[in-house]
Amino acid sequence: MVTMTYREAVRDAMAQAMRADPDVFVMGEDIAEMGGSMGVTQGMLEEFGPERVRNTPISEMAIVGAGIGAAMQGMRPIVEIMYEDFTTLAMEQIVNQAAKHRYMSGGQLSVPLTIRTQGGAGWSPGAQHAQQVEAWFCHVPGLKVVYPSTPADARALLWSSIYDDNCVLFFEHRLLYPLKGEVPDELEPLELGSARVHREGEDVTVVAIGRLVHEALKAAEAAEAEGISVEVLDPRTLLPLDEDALVRSVRKTSRCVVAHEAVVRMGFGAEIAAVVQERAFDHLDAPVERVGAKFCPVPFAPVMEQWVVPHMEDVLAAIRRTVGRE
């Protein structure tokens, strides 16, 4: 095992794929000399050159559209959208083109395009640079949606995303980039659609994604001091979703809390809650609790931002409610 930051793990997956396969290349705004707005592609221009690490115009529609065209011609492009908020500018390309061509061609065409993007609050980027929009894309047949929370998962899942024959939205949280963790010496691909249990427990399952995985783990430790045993499950891939792992965990604990940074209303947690009630209703001893941001644009002022988005204390409060401690 070696220790990497989340940022290094993402970079390593791209670099290893590019060394192994000349059809893999990267493009996006300021990703070459600058190394990307978050420094993820630093050093890649020097190794792979400007043909394979390409700066683009400031046009998300053009970036994704060019990626779709390259993918349909047999390449495996990785495009970076600087902030996930800006996927709104490429929705037509993602939703009506990338997601549809394989189906509409009867499998004669494929779009092996990986769209990397990042976002999230916690550093006052403001309402137009801090949204969490993963749930939007989970509603679109033909896409896959990945949201890793650890360096090891980011590295393995990005490799698998690059080599999937469908368009994959790969979400990264800004605050996770400096997070350090152990990863295998050799890159081991991870199947899309496989959840991970970070912590075993008996009394309640917390299903968390992205940054909230780490908030849930802290909440689980605090709950343990109160005599509550918490299982923390990370779907890792939102689409396809590992429903079996989710249901298996809830049937064991009989309670469920869902936690994500996106707003609660229509967030991905609603889908988790629906799956639980459809497949594990008879095992539930309490309603499913949802934890997420308040229904508000993310404020710029740090104290207001921290009030809007969820933290460990919010997850812990939901755990207490579902076991009848509040």
Which residues does the annotation mark as catalytic?
Answer: 60, 129
- Rounded CA-CA distance 287/301 in Å is 34
Task: Output helix, strand, coil percentages for the chain, rounded to the nearest 5.
Answer: 40, 20, 40
Say if CB 206 and CB 259 are below 8 A apart: yes
- Name the amino acid, one letter, at 322: T
Beta bridge partners of 286: none
> Which SS3 state, helix, strand or coil, does residue 146 take?
strand
Give all strands of the β-sheet with 114-119 in edge-to-edge order: 53-55, 24-28, 76-81, 114-119, 167-173, 143-146, 237-239
- Rounded CA-CA distance 92/279 in Å is 34
Strands 196-199 vs 230-234: parallel, antiparallel or unpaired: antiparallel
- Rounded CA-CA distance 109/249 in Å is 38
C-alpha triplet 55, 57, 62: angle, nearest 5°: 105
CA 122 to the chain's CA centroid: 17
